Structure 1
Amino acid sequence: MSEEPAPRRRQARGERRIAQLLQAAASVFCRTGYAAASTNAIAREAKVSPGTLYQYFPNKEAIAVELGDRLLQEMRDAEGLAFERADLDLPLPELVDAVLEPVIAFNCRNPAFLALMHGSGDVPGRIAEEHEAVHESMLARVDGLIEALAPGLDAGERRRVAAMALGIVKAGLDLVLAAPEGQERDGTVAELKRALVRYLDPLLAPRELGAPRR
């Protein structure tokens, strides 16, 4: 059998190196925030020289954009899974659980997402724009879900409820990620779900046309 062509081997090594640098960047962004991070810190975290880093990325912004693109795509996948699981016949606590679980799991796997997307205004404009598009997509999906659950709400109130629900989730995720993994984090996740149910239940249940209160 002939050996694998050298260009393909070089490409595979390059992909592994890029993944290594992005993982290091994610760790640095989580620890220091984007603004305080530097290419030297990322290179040290990756255990490579700055020169090696510059072979793949010209600056910190390029690293952040590549990392942001990958995280945003994974977030879109998590969002799609979340709403695919939204069975409107479920009791509200189970519905909240089904929708939140993929989103919580994504953020726990990728703590750099909140550090990069919800950080200061210093993040590259492209990341901010794409994150805003993901936010608007999520808001529209939540709006549609609330419309199905509470058709009596007018469009303005429905939009406010959807925005508030997302705000509760965002604030709760900050607390979830700050909690140590294990029992403490599990308890914080349960509190986030409970807070969302308690907010939504009085708004939705009375408007379920003839349906018993859940």
Structure 2
Amino acid sequence: MRAELTRERILTAAAHVFAEHGYAAGTTNRIAERARISIGSLYQYFPNKDAILAELLIQHIDRGTWTETDTLDLSPGTLEATVRALIRDAIDNHSDDPRLLRVMVEEAPVSQELLNTVARHGKLRTAQVRDVLVRHPDVQVGDPEVAAELILFTVEMNTHKFMAAPQDFPVETFENELVAMITRYLRGDQ
């Protein structure tokens, strides 16, 4: 239990350090100091800052599971609300700290564990969205599996880009435009 608490303290400290100083200046010494542990203790849990950042990214990905699927109203006329729930969930999952998100997106080392997490998460999210598309009476797509993949990629990539970098327009505008675009696609609007 104590080991897990120390590990979490390191990750929390690292998130603050990376957000505040960036990846290059976010040294293990700064992380250990912020976590109030010795550098030797930090190295008992993580071999380097790459491993710490990779773990932060894995945790970020694991938190990003669409939680609304069981409570959605899938009756005719609710497609826009369904799409909005998906997009709002993505925005909420990426709104904690834009500077840390930017560091994770731009600097995280690619490991097999990260690739496995991305693949596992992608399969789960795709299955969730595909299930909603198949059950919703207003959806008019040729292949729900492909549509789910396209929607997830579009939402995730655009949300990452928007939330990680300052924009000249409010998040509500971003959300409304993305909802409109995806809703039109799913309805088969020309």
TM-score (normalizing by structure 1) = 0.65
Q: 1:37 to 1:103 in 2, by over 3 A?
A: same
Q: Equivalent residue for 1:50?
A: 39
Q: Which string of whole-angstrom CA distances, capped at 9 and with x for unpartnered residues, describes residues 66-107 of structure 1?
A: 43453344223xx2x121232211521111122332332122
Q: Rg larger in 1 or in 2?
A: 1
Please tell me the residue identity of whatever aligns with 2:48: N
Q: 1:108 to 1:121 in 2, by over 3 A?
A: closer
Q: 1:56 to 1:152 in 2, by over 3 A?
A: closer
Higher relative contact order (CA 8 A, sep 6+): 2
Q: CA RMSD in A?
A: 3.8
**Aligned residues: percent identity?**
25
Verify: 1:107 aligned to 2:94, yes or no: yes
Please tell me the residue identity of whatever aligns with 1:67: L
Q: Equivalent residue for 1:25?
A: 14
Please tell me the residue identity of whatever aligns with 1:191: E
For 1:75, which of 40, 64, 67 is the aligned residue?
A: 64
Q: Equivalent residue for 1:173?
A: 159
For 1:147, which of 134, 151, 168 is the aligned residue?
A: 134
Verify: 1:123 aligned to 2:110, yes or no: yes
Q: Which string of whole-angstrom CA distances, capped at 9 and with x for unpartnered residues, describes residues 37-94 of structure 1?
A: 6534544665765334224323234424543453344223xx2x12123221152111
Where does the alignment leave 5 or more consecutive residues of structure 2 unmatched?
none
State the distance in 1 between where 2:145 and 2:156 align. Answer: 16
TM-score (normalizing by structure 2) = 0.72
State the distance in 1 between where 2:161 and 2:62 align. Answer: 24
Q: 1:168 to 1:65 in 2, by over 3 A?
A: closer
Please tell me the residue identity of whatever aligns with 1:91: T
Aligned residues: 186
Q: 1:85 to 1:179 in 2, by over 3 A?
A: farther
State the distance in 1 between where 2:85 and 2:134 align. Answer: 18
